[in-house]
């Protein structure tokens, strides 16, 4: 997997510590993965505190991060969190599709419940 330089957009080999084009320091793959986890945990904690307005954008950010760092289950979980906290029907549909593809029936049912809760609000 290539590391894209945030400064110039150059694709660099995974082992590169500096951009081969502009010389900017590159983030290590392990650090990038940890940031995905931290973003997810922040969203979960905000939801657990009952702060849906804070949790929703955190879940959206985490879901986007997991899409770029392909781990389908984690992305689906973040989309489900976004559906619950923002009554986002589209996120619930996408979470359901991903859970279905993974064969995660219990989580698929949770996505159905989130979708049912979101639909009256989006009609």
Q: What is the pLDDT along the chain (123 residues), one digit of tens a residue?
A: 678 888 888 898 878 888 899 998 887 655 655 777 888 999 999 999 999 999 999 999 999 888 877 789 999 999 999 999 999 999 999 999 999 999 999 999 999 999 999 987 654
Q: 10-47 in b/e burial notation, b at 16+ Cβ within 10 A?
A: bebeeebeebeeeeeebeeeeeeeeebeebbebbbebb
- What local confidence, expressed as pLDDT, does residue 122 receive? 53
pTM: 0.70
- What local confidence, expressed as pLDDT, does residue 35 receive? 77
Q: Which residue has the tokens 């991903």?
A: 98
Positive or negative, the CA dihedral 80, 81, 84, 90 is: negative
Closest CA to 36 of 77, 6, 97, 8: 77
- What local confidence, expressed as pLDDT, does residue 17 receive? 85
Residue 87 falls in which region: left (phi positive, over 0), alpha (psi -120 to 50) or beta: left
- What local confidence, expressed as pLDDT, does residue 121 receive? 61
12 φ, ψ to 5°? -120, 155
Number of domains forming the structure of the chain:
1
Query: Range of 18's domain?
Result: 3-122
């Amino acid at each position: 997997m290539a590391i894209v330089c945030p400064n110039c957009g150059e694709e660099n080999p995974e082992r590169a510590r500096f951009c081969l084009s502009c010389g900017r320091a590159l983030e290590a793959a392990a650090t990038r993965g940890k940031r995905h986890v931290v973003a997810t945990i922040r969203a979960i904690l905000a939801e657990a505190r009952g702060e849906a307005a804070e949790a929703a954008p955190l879940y959206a950010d985490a879901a986007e991060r997991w899409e770029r760092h392909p781990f389908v289950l984690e992305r689906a979980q973040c989309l489900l969190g976004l559906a619950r906290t923002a009554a986002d029907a589209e996120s619930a549909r996408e979470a359901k599709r991903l859970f279905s593809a993974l064969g995660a029936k219990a989580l698929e049912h949770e996505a159905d419940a989130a979708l049912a809760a979101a639909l009256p609000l989006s009609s």
